[in-house]
Amino acid sequence: MPRQILDRLWERGRAFLGTDLAILGGAMSWISERNLVAAISNGGGFGVIACGSMGPDLLAAEIEATKALTGKPFGVNLITMHPQLDELIDVCGAAKVSHIVLAGGLPTSAAIKRAKDHGAKVVCFAPALVLAKKLIRSGADALVVEGAEAGGHIGPVSTSVLAQEILPEIRDVPIFVAGGIGRGEAILSYLEMGAAGCQLGTRFVCATECVAHANFKKSFIRASAREAQPSVQIDADFPVIPVRALANNATKRFMDFQQEVIARFRKGEVAKDAAQLEIEHFWAGALKRAVIDGDVENGSLMAGQSVGMVTREQPAQEIMAELVAQAEAALAARHGLIQKAS
Ligand SMILES: Cc1cc2nc3c(=O)[nH]c(=O)nc-3n(C[C@H](O)[C@H](O)[C@H](O)COP(=O)(O)O)c2cc1C
């Protein structure tokens, strides 16, 4: 009975994704490659390859390798500011990728159209209600509403507020809620507010199938929510795009580094543009250093606040079964209450 109610609640999301569960594995650079993506899709969810900085040939190979591991639907996440975005969209088109997620800034109508002309369903990130409406006018087939609790690059508004602002207003397309979700009860509550499904990233990092280095996984298992902090900008003239990550040596050094660079700028030793670029380049290659090389002190440990709910390594399928069981138990408890009251 609870499962039937759950299936009714996320039916729109399941139909859109073509899956048993309306759970998206949020694309994570270096982490969401063939193994984790296939494991999530084979487990009933919807895996998404993170293209990140891959070029067209590497992406084509990753898509083929994923297809070899799963016959279930999966998607590809492309970063809109990638210099070869058009070619990457065409690679997805040639490989008949069913869903393309356009992330990292607002995609142009042209990029959305290019993806749709290939027959793909296009998913975009909506950081505010006006932008959600704009993206739908531009042709987005579904939206992800991701709040500041999430791991990686974040906006300023929390998931709970964004969900309240956007879910009651948008009925045209399915909406998936992301950011800070670690348990099934939270998924259920967003479904009850009108979401079609949810997207989780942090919770999948310690999946057995995930190729992240053992040190990276250990950092997640040890960490509590308060350690997943946004990067700090120290000077209004030198913007820093906020990224939520576990505090480590690198996050401390980033503060000193900004101070040094800005001091050199103030002394006239470096131009403003060059100083800004130096600050932006501080994190270049840092996620790979932590995820692949296991350097958890000098790399970037991008993680969301739900990291405190990551307690052990377990198969992706088991993670999703746990989430579903928690949602079902919450529904059963409510049903019991309703029966008692009547
Ligand atoms: C390590 C890490 C890397 C990420 N990389 C990307 C990325 O390349 N592209 C993207 O759109 N989102 C990226 N994200 C965000 C996830 O796709 C997802 O939306 C987010 O993790 C959801 O919030 P949660 O971490 O609270 O579950 C990343 C998140 C993490 C934790």
Q: Is the CB of 27 under 6 A from ligand 1?
A: yes
C-beta of 163 in contact with ligand 1 (< 6 A) = no
One domain for residues 99 and 221: no
pLDDT at position 252: 95
Which residues are CB-contacts of 197 (< 8 A; sequence separation ≥ 6)?
A: 10, 13, 14, 16, 17, 21, 22, 23, 24, 174, 176, 177, 191
Provide the sign of the torsion angle of the four alpha carbons 226, 230, 231, 237, taken in this order: negative
Together in a domain, 283 and 174 = no
For 73-95, the pLDDT digits (tens) are 999 999 999 999 999 999 999 99
Q: Ligand 1 center to residue 309 CA distance, Å?
A: 16
80 and 192 in a single domain? The answer is yes
Give the β-pairing of 243-246 and 228-230. Answer: antiparallel
Distance of CA 99 to the CA centre of its chain: 15
**pLDDT surpassing 70 at residue 41:** yes
**Whether residues 276 and 166 fall in one domain:** no
Q: How far is the CA of 6 from the centre of ligand 1 (A)?
A: 25
pLDDT (tens digit per residue) in 310-327: 999 999 999 999 999 999
Q: What is the mean pLDDT of residues 8-26?
A: 98
The CATH number of the domain holding residue 172 is: 3.20.20.70
**DSSP letter at 226?**
G
Q: What is the pLDDT of residue 342?
A: 53
Q: pTM of the prediction? A: 0.96
The Å distance, Cα 30 to ligand 1 centre, comes to: 11
Q: Which residue has the tokens 């405190």?
A: 308
- Dist CA 244 CA 224 (whole Å): 13
pLDDT tens track for 159-188:
999 999 999 999 999 999 999 999 999 999
Tens of pLDDT, residue by residue over 188-197, are 999 999 999 9
In angstroms, the CA 145 to CA 168 distance is 13
d(CA 28, CA 107): 19
Lowest mean pLDDT among 72-86, 270-284, 287-301, 309-323: 270-284
Domain identity same for 93 and 192: yes
Q: Are residues 166 and 20 in the same domain?
A: yes
Structure tokens at 20: 């048993």
pLDDT, tens digit (0-9, with 9 covering 90-100), for 234-271: 999 999 989 999 999 999 999 999 999 999 999 999 99
pLDDT in tens, 103-160: 998 999 999 999 999 999 999 999 999 999 999 999 999 999 999 999 999 999 999 9
303 lines ligand 1 (CB under 6 A): yes
- 68 and 141 share a domain? yes
Q: How far is the CA of 29 from the centre of ligand 1 (A)?
A: 8
Give residue 151 CA to ligand 1 midpoint distance, Å.
5
16 and 32 in a common domain: yes
Residue 339 pLDDT: 65
Q: Are 260 and 183 found together in one domain?
A: no
pLDDT of residue 174: 98
Overall number of domains in the chain: 2
DSSP code for 314: B
What is the pLDDT confidence band of residue 340, given thresholds at 50, 70 and 90?
low
Same domain, 161 and 54: yes
23, 24, 28: which to mutate for ligand 1, most atoms within 8 A of CB?
A: 28
Host domain of residue 261: 214-305
